Homo-oligomer: A and B are copies of this chain.
Amino acid sequence: MRRPKVVIVGGGFGGLAVARGLKNADVEIVLIDKTNHHLFQPLLYQVAIASLSRGDIATPFREIFRTQSNIRFILDRVEAVDCQQQVVQLINETLSFDFLVLAPGSRPSFFGHEEWRHHVWSLKNLHDALGIRDHILHSFERAERLLPHCEAQRYLTFVIVGGGPTGVEFAGALAEIARNTIRPDFPLLRDHTIKIILVQKESRLLKGFPAQLSEHAKKDLEHLDVTVKLNCVVTDISEHGVQCNDEFIPTANVIWAAGNEASPLLRTLNMDLDPEGRISVGQDLSIPKYPSIFVIGDAACCLDENGDPLPGLAAVAMQQGRYVAHLIRHNPSPRSRVPFHYKDRGQMATIGKARAVANIKGWNVSGLPAWLLWSVVHVSFLIGFDKIRVIMEWIWFYLTYKSSERLIDIDFQPKKKDKT
């Protein structure tokens, strides 16, 4: 009998969990991703602020699957899915499947203001993170050149849009590194204010967390001299700055951590999508009418017992991935599938050195204990042999605030390579 062919689109937390969950299963797996590595996205902001290097948080798929013989990796972009014909369309090739797992993730959305994309930096992949790093360093160089002109302040003002975990963690880390690591190298900027502003449209930060921790996170950020603006709606972004509510903030540095939408690949399925572009999946994470096509992770609108969509978290995607792997391996009839149930083990966010907030099974933890917890959890989830290196780099970094990663790897006026 021919082995069932499982095609997995996307090698994030969800896709990877499916692939690993099918280790030694009697199936033939193809994993397709448009990069060659799995990315530990929760630590991506640390690459952006140059406290970790890219090798620390990314592992090539081929390395991950070195000991798994039933999987093949393909570096490619999936253009479309044909549910009826059971094929996936790549750029120059079509692949048929018996089971399809779509885990294509999400991308930044700008609430209908596509033009904002040109003036902000978002934080989705290594390319983004390295771009932000170069941009921050360029801004300091630029500010020093512009002195004593007041335009310099625009380059020393950093606006982070979005008060979820990404925005909060990035703002805290940037505040520390900008003032403690970068500024000492710019003698002329020593007496200048570096403004770091976190803009949140809700009435509190980290709205998925208990209110008490939101308040704690805000205080921790303010302790690091981050200005937190709540109930603050961004109405315009240009090369000059950000308009929020009635205030215009002149800045050359806008980091976008506000909205996401599911991958546009889902549109090719010709199904109803929710406002975030996600597909509503059934209790078994399959899509309507096609019990062998699953959608997981950020791309799935999966309701919890209260009827609310599950958040776009690594933990959700991983549990979904393991669930789907189990279904494919044992292949019960669609009617006898046990529904997916998300076990919420808690959430955490770190705010700079030795500060964090965590909600673990109803317990609220903050400060150093939460930060230690955060460190242990994040390092233990890293894949491969980099754990020790990451721990060493963190210890080194937090003891010295030094980083070996402050390099701009493009010329002042980048040459465009003709090939890509």
Contact = CB atoms under 8 A, between A and B. Distances in A.
Interface of A: 34-37, 53-56, 58, 60, 62-63, 66, 72, 74-77, 91, 93, 117-119, 125-127, 130-131, 137-138, 141, 145, 184-186, 188, 384-386, 389, 402, 404-415, 417-420
B412 A76 contact: yes
Q: Please state the number of chain copies in the assembly.
A: 2
A410 B412 CA distance: 20
Contact of A66 (B72, B184, B409): B184
A34 B413 contact: yes
Contact of A420 (B75, B406, B413): B413
Contact of A411 (B117, B125, B408): B125
A251 to B, nearest CB: 14
Nearest to A408: B36
Nearest to A61: B185
A209 to B, nearest CB: 32
A271 to B, nearest CB: 25
B66 A185 contact: yes
Given A36-B408, A419-B118, A414 B127 contact: yes
A405 B57 CA distance: 11
Nearest to A33: B412
A414 B420 CA distance: 7
A106 B413 CA distance: 17
A412 B185 contact: no
